[in-house]
Amino acid sequence: MTRLLLSVNVDHVATLRNARGGTFPCPVEASRQAIAAGADGITVHLREDRRHMRDRDVERIRAEIPAPLNFEMAATEEMVAIAERLRPPACCLVPEKRAELTTEGGLDLLRASAFLPEAIARLREAGVRVSIFVEADPIQIAAAARLGAACVELHTGPYADAAPEARGPHLTRLRVGAASARSHGLICHAGHGLAYDSIGDIARMPEVSEVSIGHFLIAQSLFEGLPTVIRRFQSLIAAARGTTA
């Protein structure tokens, strides 16, 4: 199997910084240290309400961090314009609700905004690889392919949040979703809620080429330190996948 890439979502470093309104801890520095410790890329979600990442954080990470940036964003005029200016290698389109604590589900492509096709076309035109965060549902995955996305990120939240003994049906859905993505020629990523105890099953899916992990990874760093957590994830991934960390 090919290596599974680990993209580290640094949003919650900004959450901690914003709790005191200063400049520490800095998500750019966390990104630097994550890459130095062996992460393969950095993910940031610039939300409409700027509750964690700010525009300047994203600009600096894009300019200063020598690793692929995955820019998570809602498909809005404002965010598309930012992506056109920063030209990250990859964007992941996510649904966004002001009142939610975190992204609550995949983008419903059967009820998506009329602006979505334009957003995808403009991002593609800017040279950005477009991914869409979807539920592991073959209907949604087929819609992503029709819309011209290059990639889908499967929502692993329901699987990761389930008790270990209740994960089976969620895992089956994810496996079906990953196979469906491949059958449409889509790159397949996965993310949301992943932790040490849930990464192995995902890493064993050959179609999945990248995971995006934030909350657990940043929170666990309080206890073990960021480099140790990243190295542990990389070795859990390598062990599950039969590759080298």
Q: Which residues bind ligand PXP (CB under 6 A)?
A: 9, 11, 45, 72, 92, 94, 102-103, 133, 153, 191-194, 212-216
Residue type, 196: Y
Cα within 13 Å of Cα(144), Cβ side: 34
Catalytic pick among 12, 45, 52, 155 = 45
- Region of 68 on the Ramachandran plot (φ > 0 left; ψ -120 to 50 alpha; else beta): beta
CB of 15 to ligand PXP, least distance (A): 10
Catalytic pick among 96, 192, 207, 210 = 192
Which tokens belong to 215? Answer: 């909350």
Kindly calculate the radius of gyration of the chain based on its CA atoms and give it in whole angstroms. 17
β-sheet bridge partners, residue 153: 133, 189
Residue type, 165: E
Backbone angles phi, psi at 78, to 5 degrees: -60, -50
User: Which residue number, 43 or 180, has a Cβ lying nearer to ligand PXP?
Assistant: 43
User: Which residue number, 192 or 241, has a Cβ lying nearer to ligand PXP?
Assistant: 192
CB of 58 to ligand PXP, least distance (A): 14
E-strand ranges in the chain read 5-9, 41-45, 69-73, 90-93, 129-134, 151-155, 187-191, 208-213
Active site residue 192: yes
CB of 195 to ligand PXP, least distance (A): 8
CB of 108 to ligand PXP, least distance (A): 14
Active site residue 45: yes
Tell how many helices (H) and how many strands (E) occur in the chain.
11, 8
User: Which residue number, 71 or 216, has a Cβ lying nearer to ligand PXP?
Assistant: 216
Active site residue 72: yes
Q: How many CB atoms lie within 10 A of CB 67?
A: 18
User: Which residue number, 167 or 192, has a Cβ lying nearer to ligand PXP?
Assistant: 192
β-sheet bridge partners, residue 133: 153
User: Which residue number, 8 or 242, has a Cβ lying nearer to ligand PXP?
Assistant: 8
CB of 186 to ligand PXP, least distance (A): 15
Q: Are 240 and 200 in contact (CB under 8 A)?
A: yes
Q: How far apart are CA 80 and CA 126, in angstroms?
A: 10
Catalytic pick among 12, 52, 72, 155 = 72
- Catalytic positions, please? 45, 72, 192
